[in-house]
Amino acid sequence: MMEVTRVDDEASAAVVTGEASFPPGFVKPDPADPSATREQYDMDVVIDVPVKGVAKAGTYTLKFEVRYQGCKKSLCWMPQTDVVEATLRVGASEK
């Protein structure tokens, strides 16, 4: 399980983002229910979040809430939530 949600921050009014896009993971049997499957990632994951609009040039700190659950063989840990920050730098457009 992995979800990404934009958190309201000081850049919320100035930067509009789209829906997060995940790379394909590995489909494996669910440790809790081997008749079901779940998508898993074995290493770090890069999640793309498109920027759809920016009010003006500048540097913005965007905050995202990332919810995920780690599993190992037949054991899954409780779901976790972390807040991750990303810096967006937007230059002035040339006319």
Decide if 4 contacts 44 (C-beta within 8 A).
no
d(CA 27, CA 25): 6
Name the average pLDDT for the chain: 86
Choose among 17, 14, 13: nearest CA to 65.
17
The pTM for the full model equals 0.77
The whole-number pLDDT of residue 66 equals 92
Count CB-CB contacts under 10 A for residue 17. 19
33-73 tens-digit pLDDT: 878 888 888 888 899 999 998 989 999 999 999 998 887 77
Place of tokens 């976790």: 80
d(CA 51, CA 16): 6
